[in-house]
């Protein structure tokens, strides 16, 4: 099983998990779906799902007890029942479910995976498949990176230009960014609010909260291209960025840009019920603010020490707006140096030291250090690895990451630049996501045990059509680099 359960006591015999099995209790529909059982099972075998008063299980823990007659999942809340069903799914063999007892409680409350849909638009079928894969591994957060310099993917009714113009770019890099070669193929696409609402509901029904991210005030070139009044007038018109890297084009600090940000967050919160909303805040280049008279006025009016402090001003403003909507802001750890509000969740990406700094400053912290959780990094430095932004980040390093008990949780990142297709994405994601799942859910580390359980788990990934990187296989020959998804 992956992630490893808290305790497992084997029993004797098998529960016959066949088409005749009856399923009763809350989440019975999901259990039938995930276990492939018809709604009208009438055999003697019975799966029972029960809510019990056991505070020690917390909101997500469960007890699974399997005998030859019955498989019983008990939990204090429905989330625990869902994870119990996922465990059954992993335990099952063609002959049935082995008898025994599992007691399982997650270590971390936030077990996330970030998927970048800004660099490459991904079909909805891709996102649904990943929701299923996340839930299978007991991840409970899908962080969707919806906007960046290279594309705006979230429909905003008040500002239709964002998706009419900001969702498309003229061309994309081909090969590594440093080679400066382009494919000259337009790329783009966006998601309607209805599509995202349905995705969020589907995910919620499987125990996964979709946490949306809109990048403010940097990584905003697509927004500025679509709505030039958001940016800083220059000699050249700005287009949706066609190269990787960090754009100098950031949002200005005028009242109209502030009203825009509020409009976007209002609509975002109508679509996503998540209690958390990510506002970006990373890698904000300051050259436009440094030479902007409007920024100088804002700095003076707000009594800020200088234009760089406008990042914190943006962060406090957006977090305050979200607070008014009953949500909590999450930001990348760059915000930590700019007086963030106390209730801001810090997503610490620049290193383990940033996790510690954010904890020292009293924040709730999601550990996302690039040194351990950036799965877009190559797994090895072998010559056969496909192009990537950095690396190597071996499976063992990912598995070995211990974020400590003080964090809210931890999260894997899959930045999209070099992962244009599902196939490329799978190759980078798996099996390292299995290691993150275990680092997030389980206490303790046992690399030998993990490696053995991973071997037993890979056939399930095969069955689900995941094109994972075979452990120990330093190379990716045969991976199709073409077939990029374009929705126009």
Using alpha carbons, list the distances in angstroms from residue 30 to 79, 127, 142, 202, 478.
12, 19, 19, 11, 37
Describe the crossing of helices 124-136 and 78-91 by its angle, rounded to 10 degrees: 90
DSSP 8-state symbol, 18: S
Is residue 164 within 8 Å of residue 190, measured between CB atoms? no
Contact between 282 and ligand ACM (CB under 6 A)?
yes
The catalytic residue among 283, 356, 402, 481 is 283
Residue 283 a catalytic site member: yes
Query: Rounded to the nearest whole angstrom, what is the least distance from the CB of residue 315 to ligand ACM in the complex?
Result: 14
Query: Rounded to the nearest whole angstrom, what is the least distance from the CB of residue 331 to ligand ACM in the complex?
Result: 10
Whose Cβ is closer to ligand ACM: residue 276's or residue 349's?
Answer: 349
Query: Rounded to the nearest whole angstrom, what is the least distance from the CB of residue 282 to ligand ACM in the complex?
Result: 4
Pick one of 263, 266, 283, 423: the residue that binds ligand ACM (CB under 6 A): 283
Query: Rounded to the nearest whole angstrom, what is the least distance from the CB of residue 213 to ligand ACM in the complex?
Result: 10
Query: Rounded to the nearest whole angstrom, what is the least distance from the CB of residue 72 to ligand ACM in the complex?
Result: 43
Contact between 130 and ligand ACM (CB under 6 A)?
no
Residues touching ligand ACM: how many (CB under 6 A)? Answer: 4
Whose Cβ is closer to ligand ACM: residue 239's or residue 283's?
Answer: 283
* Cross-strand pairs, 463: none
Query: Rounded to the nearest whole angstrom, what is the least distance from the CB of residue 110 to ligand ACM in the complex?
Result: 16
Using alpha carbons, list the distances in angstroms from residue 420 to 122, 250, 343, 391, 424.
8, 25, 35, 18, 7
Whose Cβ is closer to ligand ACM: residue 163's or residue 411's?
Answer: 411
Residue 236 a catalytic site member: no
Contact between 332 and ligand ACM (CB under 6 A)?
yes
DSSP 8-state symbol, 387: P
Whose Cβ is closer to ligand ACM: residue 263's or residue 282's?
Answer: 282
Taking Cα atoms as reference points, which of 224, 308, 313, 219 lies closest to residue 260? Answer: 224
The catalytic residue among 145, 187, 219, 372 is 219
Whose Cβ is closer to ligand ACM: residue 97's or residue 348's?
Answer: 348
Whose Cβ is closer to ligand ACM: residue 121's or residue 349's?
Answer: 349
Whose Cβ is closer to ligand ACM: residue 276's or residue 332's?
Answer: 332
Query: Rounded to the nearest whole angstrom, what is the least distance from the CB of residue 8 to ligand ACM in the complex?
Result: 37
Contact between 427 and ligand ACM (CB under 6 A)?
no
Query: Rounded to the nearest whole angstrom, what is the least distance from the CB of residue 286 to ligand ACM in the complex?
Result: 16
- Euclidean distance between CA atoms 344 and 312, whole angstroms: 11
Instruction: Give how far the C-alpha of residue 137 lies from the chain's centroid of Cα atoms, to the nearest Å.
Output: 13
- Euclidean distance between CA atoms 181 and 336, whole angstroms: 36
Cα dihedral 437→443→444→448 (10° resolution): -40
The catalytic residue among 60, 104, 116, 148 is 148
Instruction: Give how far the C-alpha of residue 409 lies from the chain's centroid of Cα atoms, to the nearest Å.
Output: 12
Residues in contact with 469: Cβ distance below 8 Å, sequence separation at least 6, in sequence order = 379, 427, 428, 430, 431, 476
- Is 55 exposed, middle or buried, given 0-12, 13-18 or 19+ CB atoms closer than 10 A? exposed
Instruction: Give how far the C-alpha of residue 107 lies from the chain's centroid of Cα atoms, to the nearest Å.
Output: 18
Taking Cα atoms as reference points, which of 76, 44, 50 lies closest to residue 61? Answer: 76
- Euclidean distance between CA atoms 26 and 209, whole angstroms: 19
Whose Cβ is closer to ligand ACM: residue 33's or residue 283's?
Answer: 283
Contact between 198 and ligand ACM (CB under 6 A)?
no
Helix, strand or coil for residue 361? coil
Contact between 349 and ligand ACM (CB under 6 A)?
yes
Contact between 401 and ligand ACM (CB under 6 A)?
no
Q: Footprint of ligand ACM on this chain (CB under 6 A)?
A: 282-283, 332, 349
Q: Which residues are catalytic?
A: 148, 219, 283
């Amino acid at each position: 099983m992956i992630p490893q359960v808290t305790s497992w006591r084997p029993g004797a015999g098998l529960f016959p998990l066949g088409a005749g099995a009856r399923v009763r209790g809350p989440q019975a529909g999901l259990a039938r779906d995930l276990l492939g059982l018809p709604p009208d099972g009438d055999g003697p075998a019975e799966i029972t799902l029960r809510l019990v008063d056991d505070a020690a299980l917390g909101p997500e823990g469960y007890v699974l007890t399997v005998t030859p007659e019955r498989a019983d999942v008990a939990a204090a809340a429905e989330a625990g029942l869902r994870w119990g069903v996922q465990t059954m799914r992993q335990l099952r063999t063609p002959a049935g479910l082995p008898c025994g007892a599992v007691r399982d409680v997650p270590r971390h409350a936030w077990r996330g995976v970030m998927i970048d849909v800004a660099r490459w638009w991904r079909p909805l079928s891709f996102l649904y498949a990943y929701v299923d894969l996340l839930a299978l591994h007991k991840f409970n957060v899908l962080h969707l990176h919806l906007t960046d310099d290279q594309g705006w993917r979230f429909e905003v009714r008040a500002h239709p230009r964002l998706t009419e113009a900001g969702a498309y770019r003229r061309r994309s890099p081909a090969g590594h960014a440093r080679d400066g070669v382009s494919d000259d193929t337009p790329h783009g696409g966006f998601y309607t609010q209805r599509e995202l609402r349905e995705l969020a509901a589907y995910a919620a029904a499987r125990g996964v909260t979709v946490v949306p991210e809109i990048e403010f005030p940097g990584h905003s070139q697509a927004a500025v291209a679509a709505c030039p009044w958001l940016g800083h007038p220059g000699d050249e018109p700005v287009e949706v960025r066609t190269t990787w890297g960090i754009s100098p084009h950031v949002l200005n600090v005028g009242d109209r840009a502030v009203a825009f940000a509020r409009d976007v967050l209002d609509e975002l919160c109508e679509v996503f019920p998540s209690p958390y909303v990510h506002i970006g805040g990373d890698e904000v280049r300051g050259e436009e603010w440094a030479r902007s008279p409007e920024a100088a006025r804002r700095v003076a009016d707000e009594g800020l020490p200088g234009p760089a402090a406008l990042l914190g001003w943006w962060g406090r403003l957006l977090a305050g707006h979200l607070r008014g909507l009953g949500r909590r802001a999450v930001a990348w750890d760059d915000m930590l140096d700019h007086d963030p509000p106390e209730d801001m969740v810090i997503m610490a990406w620049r290193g383990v030291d940033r996790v510690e700094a954010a904890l020292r400053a009293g924040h709730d912290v999601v550990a996302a250090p690039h040194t351990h959780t950036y799965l877009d990094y190559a797994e090895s430095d072998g010559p056969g690895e496909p192009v990537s932004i950095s690396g190597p980040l071996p499976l063992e390093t990912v598995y070995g990451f211990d974020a400590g008990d003080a964090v809210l949780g931890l999260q894997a990142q899959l930045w999209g630049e070099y992962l244009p297709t599902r196939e490329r994405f799978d190759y980078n994601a798996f099996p390292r996501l299995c290691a993150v799942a275990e680092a997030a859910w389980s206490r303790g580390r046992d690399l030998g045990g993990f490696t053995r359980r991973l071997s037993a788990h890979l056939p399930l990934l095969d069955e689900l059509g995941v094109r994972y990187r075979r452990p120990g296989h330093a190379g990716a020959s045969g991976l199709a680099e073409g077939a990029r998804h374009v929705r126009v």
